[in-house]
Amino acid sequence: MTRKSKIVVLISGNGSNLQSLLEGCHSKIINGEIVAVVSNNPHAFGLKRAKTFGINTLVIDENNYKIEKKTFHEKVYEAVKQFNPDLVILAGYMKILTKSFISSFQDKIINIHPSLLPKYPGLNTHQRALTAKDEISGATVHFVTEKLDSGPIIIQGEVPIFPNDTEQSLRTRVLEIEHKIFVATTSLICSGKIKRADDKVFLNENLLGKQGIKYDNSIERMLKE
């Protein structure tokens, strides 16, 4: 097996996606090691999750930089850069990265978004799907570019929307598929099966379409190969 990829995860809150990634590394589904978890929120529960696994945690409290926002972003960059990561994962990180941060980790940053992009970028995705009376929702893992929620799509996972769904019930169902596709994506990247080049995404050197891979049982089998 090739060397483990070094992963830094950025979080802002509860960290349930972080938990799935920690478990994926621990079980060796992911050939990677989370070397640090960085948060802008000192009260993020995800920090406790990381410490349970013995992971380095760093807090860059954005409240200390309300006037000097540039300094805040520089501190986040320095916190991540010191670990020389192969992959930077945004797992519920609620700050927009700077252009210089993104360019410094070109093709190495992935994000998860709770909708089937390009539908509903930004916030309030579940309510927007319900208001539109969509029959299907889901989540998307994509490479990060300077344009918000618009980078090349890697994997999408779908869930049904039921007539009696509320925003909370839909959020819960989407979160379950988020955990699965985040682990799958990270595993495929760390194994070298997923690569990005020239704003395109390749799986085993085959070019993916604009909507990436649709998550299904075949992905699970691929992870076990």
Q: Annotated active-site positions, please?
A: 113
8 A C-beta contact, residue 12 and residue 40: yes
CA 189 – CA 52 distance, rounded (Å): 25
CA 28 – CA 92 distance, rounded (Å): 23
Q: At 200, which helix (H) or strand (E)?
A: strand 200-203
Q: What are phi and psi of 166, to 5 degrees?
A: -110, 170
Using alpha carbons, select from 10, 13, 15 the residue that is nearest to residue 44: 13
CA 209 – CA 212 distance, rounded (Å): 5
Q: Give the count of beta carbons closer than 10 Å to the beta carbon of residue 137.
A: 27
Angle at 23 (CA atoms; ends 21, 29), nearest 5 degrees = 80
**CA-to-CA dists, residue 82 to 38, 67, 79, 113, 174, angstroms:** 12, 25, 6, 27, 34
Q: Residue 192: exposed, middle, or buried by beta-carbon count in 10 A (0-12, 13-18, 19+)?
A: exposed
Q: At 59, which helix (H) or strand (E)?
A: strand 56-59
